[in-house]
Chains A and B, each alone.
Chain A
Amino acid sequence: MNQNTNSAPLVEFQNIYKIYQTGDVEVRALDGVSFSIYKGEFVAIIGQSGSGKSTCMNIIGCLDVPTEGTYLLNGDDVSRLTDDEQAEIRNKTLGFIFQQYNLLPKLTNLDNVKLPLLYKGLRESEQEELAMDALRRVGVLDKAYHKPSQLSGGQQQRISIARALAGSPSIILADEPTGALDSKTSKEVIDFLIELNKQGNTIILITHDNTIAARAKRVIRVHDGRIIFDGMAMEDEIIKSTLSAHIKKEAEE
């Protein structure tokens, strides 16, 4: 299942539960989830709407805490850390790409990309250098001094990818990064994530699209808060049938 089981995992979920209590109703967004993700992996977490994907990612991203279970990030138990220590982990170890980009509208794109570097405490000149470099890597250097609202959705997502990349985090977390984009732009974004993975970045991608998940090396399929499949993308029954249906359809055309 995992290529490099001999080294310690980057992300390790040990029997994680996330339970929401709304009135009398108890929602088990995560219902006893365990998995490990190693350095250099490209993992797609897939599942239907409401299956618990985002909940999973928020916990991995130290934005939320599990109701029960242990989450080890780089071997450290995150639940034992203070708010500021978690903030530092988000800053240094994690890079987020959100479906809705989550750029700050009043800042220029450059300033948006500089934010994580600023919180890292880098000098202004270093921030500028790294941010420009990240913008160049995602191909929107010419938009550095524009505001996010002056860009297309695809361009905004590139800015948010640049922001995630800028501080060279160990893990890039992407929650439905193509959810608001057309298929051509979606493909470009996924291509770029694959490229980043080839350069050695660990990528965790959340999607409900089987064709996108198919491009990941590894797939974790969740359903009602439980893992129902964890393995090579091409071994997942649903992905297999989706892909064959796709090929058939293309052949017919």
Chain B
Amino acid sequence: MKFSKTIELAIASIRSNKMRSFLTMLGIIIGVAAVIILVSVMDGITGQVSDVFEGFGTNNITVSITSRGSTRRVEPDNLYELIDENSHLFLYCSPKVTATVNIKSPNSSETSYASVTGIDETYDEIDLLSTTQGRFLQFVDIEKMLKVCVIGTYYEQEYYDRGKAVGQKIKLNGDPYTIIGVLEEQSDSSEGSADQCIYIPYTLASKLSRNASIGSYVVSMKDSNRIEEAKAVLEMKLTEILGSSDFYNITATQEILDEMNSIMDTLKGALILIAGISLLVGGIGIMNIMLVSVTERTKEIGIRKSLGAKKKHIMQQFVIEAATVSGIGGLLGILLGGLVAYVIGIIMSITVIPSVSAVIVAFSVSVGIGIIFGYLPAKNAATLNPIDALRFE
């Protein structure tokens, strides 16, 4: 049979048996939809999480002090000394103090809340920040507690004309701060993105935060392969200062990222296994229906053979038919999966883009399943004895 003709006939037979065909395809539809949903949503989540971590610097270790209020405290100089002593392990260290402040729009009387981050002059190296206008904080700003700040592009676009922010004053909790630099855009300058940020000297921020001592530090490593060593050095020092290992936490960005990736991979593996089982079941469903179809059409096979159809002709016909059924199932699965993934994306507010490769793989796999599981029934049909097939009623 001519290829397109066979597909045409297969589609006609699918349409004449809508319910049966649908049930046959269901396994494939669910399997393919599951794969598409999974891959798109997982990619969306992974993409979002990596974005967050990438802006964070993967070579960093965060130290949080949990014993604030106790008499023992960690001073910035403690850690600066440690970094200097262990320059083979560490590059930089900066306190990191966050505080929520009132911020007043320069154009209107509106005030809103903003989160400011207090850091030292090395933080741009640690967090991989760079300014597009003006400069980053410098040692004197910290030392002299100058009321200066570096802002993200969100505030620049929100409050100022393009290129006019540097030199302006912005009021934080009523105090005017001079803008000395604008950071390079990291995300899309929208509200809530990494671009909504204000950096000020930590010496000022710790006052604004109304905490007596500095709650966290970020340390950047020279070599991310020596995480364990670096952590051990930090732990020893901190335990010595604070008296117990219960009063602080050390987390390496890389470790979190690794752990998360491995969880994601395991999850992905498990879900793909389930999808695979569904596809297998779908394939068996197709094999079953094709076996029924061969029996139902024994007479037709006999007629075709009497007219000179060879084994390959009959094989082709049934394999193409099985592949058409599963291929259509695959297409429906892709549509369903795409739709569900899109809805999930909206609900979870993540960017879900069904990857072209996932769609191509899903479609090929479903057609492949049709061919594999259609093979046995087709072989049965092709090896029928012509006279027995012709006599069959």
Q: Please provide the chain A residues from 64 to 97 with a CB less than 8 Å away from any CB of chain B in the complex.
A: 64, 83-84, 87-88, 90-92, 96
CB distance from A165 to the nearest CB of B (A): 12
A91 to B386, CA, bound (A): 13
Cβ of B307 and Cβ of A106 under 8 Å apart?
no
Name the B residues within 8 Å of A58 (CB-CB). Answer: 387
Residues of B within 8 A of A87 (CB): 305, 308-311
With A83-B311, A87-B308, A119-B308 as contacts: A104 and B387 at CB distance below 8 Å: no
Q: Is B66 in the interface zone, CB < 8 Å from A?
A: no
Interface membership of chain B positions 280-310, coded 1 if the CB is closer than 8 angstroms to chain A and 0 otherwise: 0000000000000000000110011111111
Within 8 A of A (CB), among B285-341: 299-300, 303-313
- CB of B2 within 8 A of CB of A90, answer no
Chain B: which residue is nearest A84 at the CB level?
B310
**When chains A and B are docked, how far (Å) is the Cα of A84 from the Cα of B312?**
9
Please determine whether A63 and B306 come into contact, CB atoms closer than 8 angstroms.
Answer: yes
The answer, yes or no, to whether B13 is at the interface (CB within 8 Å) is: yes
Q: Are A115 and B304 in contact (CB under 8 A)?
A: yes
Q: Which residues from 92 to 144 on chain A have a C-beta closer than 8 Å to any C-beta of chain B? A: 92, 96, 102-104, 106-107, 111, 115-116, 118-120, 124
Cβ–Cβ contact B310 & A102, under 8 A? no
Residue A163 is within 8 A (CB to CB) of chain B in the complex = yes
Q: Is A47 an interface residue (CB 8 A)?
A: no
Chain B, 362-376, CB within 8 A of any chain A CB: none
Set of chain A residues within 8 Å of B5, measured between Cβ atoms: 111
Q: Are A102 and B2 in contact (CB under 8 A)?
A: no
Contacts of B299 in A (CB 8 A): 102
A116 near B308 (CB under 8 angstroms)?
Answer: yes
Given A106-B9, A106-B12, A118-B1 in contact, is the A90-B308 Cβ separation under 8 Å? yes
Known: A63-B387, A63-B390, A102-B303. A92 touches B308 (CB 8 A): yes
Q: Which 7 A-B pairs have the closest CB atoms?
A: A91-B308, A119-B308, A64-B387, A63-B387, A116-B307, A87-B310, A84-B310
Given contacts A63-B390, A83-B310, 5 further A-B contacts (CB under 8 A): A63-B305, A63-B306, A115-B307, A118-B1, A119-B308
Task: Give chain B's interface residues, CB within 8 Å of chain A.
Answer: 1-2, 5, 9, 12-13, 299-300, 303-313, 386-387, 390
Task: List A residues at the B interface (Cβ < 8 Å).
Answer: 58, 61, 63-64, 83-84, 87-88, 90-92, 96, 102-104, 106-107, 111, 115-116, 118-120, 124, 163
